[in-house]
Amino acid sequence: MSYVVALSGGVASGKSTIADLFSKLGVPIIDADMIARQVVQVGTEAFNQIVMHFSQEILLANGELDRSQLREIIFNNDHERLWLNHLLHPLIQQETQKQIAMQSTTYVIWVVPLLVENNLHTLADRVLIIDAPVPLQVARLVKRDNISETLAKKMIMSQVSLKKRLSYADDIIVNDGNLALLTAQVNLLHRKYLDNFNSKI
């Protein structure tokens, strides 16, 4: 099985961008957010429980979950956010471990937003944290999700502080929006991981 590098950072810190850079280098990406979408597809047990909990009002006209409405609810209600996390976390973890076990490359990148919040760092061989300034996160969230600045700040504040997240880091990528700098940092870490992990095999 491949060595696991957990990639984490605050919401809109640039996880997808950095994961894409690793992917271009041939590194498999296991994305917890993508898996989270899979486990709540129409007809799944998790989907049915969410609809039962929040009622049919949480659905779009096509029968799928209204993710925008669900996001508004959970980031304005800690109880509902914890309920949803409790439901989805075991399902996401089960599928994540299944996908990781299928890999045969030297290492994989496991993109996991709530690494620290859910105490998942122990499941990785190494932790890579993104350091992004909060104003940049807010701006990205407002633009990406078409939400208010107030909701964007609530989403950021619902997560652990950057200081706490960085305390778990083996490696840090600074993301200030400069793609050339990001690429250089990723390339450097890629070589480092190949050297480190190959030497342990």
Residue ranges per structural domain of the chain: 3-200
Q: Are 106 and 125 in contact (CB under 8 A)?
A: no
pLDDT at 95 over 90: yes
- Supply the pLDDT for residue 75: 86
| Longest CA–CA separation in the chain, Å | 54
Binned at pLDDT 50, 70 and 90, residue 1 comes out as confident
Q: Are 40 and 65 in contact (CB under 8 A)?
A: yes
- Supply the pLDDT for residue 201: 58
Model's pTM, two decimal places? 0.88
- Supply the pLDDT for residue 121: 94
Q: How far is CA 159 from the centre of its chain?
A: 12
What is each CA distance from 126 to 6, 16, 189, in whole angstroms?
6, 18, 12
- Supply the pLDDT for residue 136: 92
User: What is 3-200's CATH superfamily?
Assistant: P-loop containing nucleotide triphosphate hydrolases (3.40.50.300)
